[in-house]
Amino acid sequence: MKQKLTVELGARSYPIHFLREAGTVMQVALAELARRGQSSVLLTDDGVARAQGDFLARNFGAIPKLVASAGEKAKSLEMFGQVQDFLAANKITRQGVLWVVGGGVTGDLGGFAAATYLRGIDYLQVPTTLLAMVDSAVGGKTGLNLSAGKNLVGAFHHPRAVYVAPEFLQTLPAREFAAGMAEVIKYGLLGDAELFAQLEKIPLNAQSADLASVIRRCCEIKAELVRADERETAAEGGRVLLNLGHTFGHAIEQVTGYATYIHGEAVAIGLLGAARLSQKLGLVSVPEVARVERVLAAHQLPVRLRVPLSVADLQAAMAHDKKNRTDGARFVVLPAIGTAATRSGIPPSLVETVWQELGAA
């Protein structure tokens, strides 16, 4: 497997490094930054601090460190302020670098802090969860949640590099690994039917021999969509296709207060919701929807709401989705397994029916 993939964005291009062992690479990169007179600081979360404490001490022990709380609620204005104060307290200049070691929440928080501190400083992503490795660490989307909806505050600010080391996944809780698989399955559904078929045949786990190649394939798909539509401005399709399942999933997260489902679990239910909606639009067949449900279940992901939620509340949450336009809600649907498209003008009653099939009341 090639050890590097470049996200092609002209002057803002950056590498994704695929590593067998991260420690030596981190030490070399930190030493090079110090040689150039660039100060480094570290943002991580308490889950990583517990599971990878030795790694952090061995490779980042000499630099200032801020440990954020793990979980979606850390993507808040309050935690954002703490990160900014941390950067200021350590006298980070525009030449400084923020290392972000953690999952998707920490990456989004750290990236947005880097985007806004002194109007923008460099940051480096070291994703430690499967979800972050295949999705959130790549592409430059950073952000925070508001009570009105998810990721409503944010900026496009690309990292200078991403370091992907599957070794971190050996200490990742099973629930978190499964949550990351929702994003892997998403990539198969929207852009690689062969990948989806592979996941159908043999479910992926942290010990799978092909885990590293699957992670790389997901990064390849995302890098291409980001290259073609960096700021999600395409009239149809484009980067927004990466939100397959997320319109439903984000609504679930918001209505449950980001406390009941971790992100990938909500996305998993959302993927089945998108498949069911696609079937009702005449795009895919009932057996194809069943294939999606089986793959999700085989990877220990939920396919229905654990406790019924109000359809009205879920529909209201969808109204705040950031993909929406002045003509209403916009959904990512499946013309076929392996292909995705955007669709507007879908009757709310059709979406309500999908919610009911997912266990809403």
Residue 74 C-beta-side C-alpha neighbours within 13 Å: 26
Shared domain check, 271 and 217: yes
Give the model's pLDDT for residue 329.
81
Q: How far is the C-alpha of 354 from the C-alpha of 237, rounded, in Å? A: 22
Q: How would you label 163-181 residue by residue, b for 16+ Cβ within 10 Å and e otherwise?
A: bbbbebbeebeeebbbbbb
- Active-site residue numbers? 119, 141, 183, 222, 232, 239, 243, 246, 250, 263
Q: How far is the C-alpha of 71 from the C-alpha of 236, rounded, in Å? A: 32
Shared domain check, 197 and 98: no
Residue 24 maps to which CATH number?
A: 3.40.50.1970
Give the model's pLDDT for residue 11.
93
Give the model's pLDDT for residue 320.
81
Shared domain check, 191 and 133: no
- Per DSSP, the three-state class of 314 is helix
Shared domain check, 196 and 148: no
Give the model's pLDDT for residue 70.
87
Choosing from 113, 148, 171, the residue where a domain stops is: 171
Residue 290 maps to which CATH number?
A: 1.20.1090.10
Shared domain check, 245 and 116: no
Is 338 buried (19+), middle (13-18) or exposed (0-12) by CB count in 10 A?
middle
H or E segment at 15? strand 14-18
Residue span of the structural domain in which 56 resides = 4-171
Shared domain check, 38 and 17: yes
Q: How far is the C-alpha of 45 from the C-alpha of 270, rounded, in Å? A: 27
Shared domain check, 161 and 42: yes
The structure's pTM equals 0.95
Give the model's pLDDT for residue 244.
98
Residue 123 DSSP class = E
Shared domain check, 114 and 231: no
Shared domain check, 200 and 280: yes
Choosing from 107, 140, 171, the residue where a domain stops is: 171
- 149-180 per-position pLDDT tens digit: 889 999 999 999 999 999 999 999 999 999 99
Instruction: Mark the ranges of the chain whose per-residue pLDDT is less than 50.
Output: none
Please give the tally of structural domains in the chain.
2
Residue 308 DSSP class = -
- 230-253 per-position pLDDT tens digit: 999 998 889 999 999 999 999 999
Cross-strand partners of 153: 144
Shared domain check, 226 and 148: no
Shared domain check, 216 and 190: yes
Choosing from 137, 171, 205, the residue where a domain stops is: 171
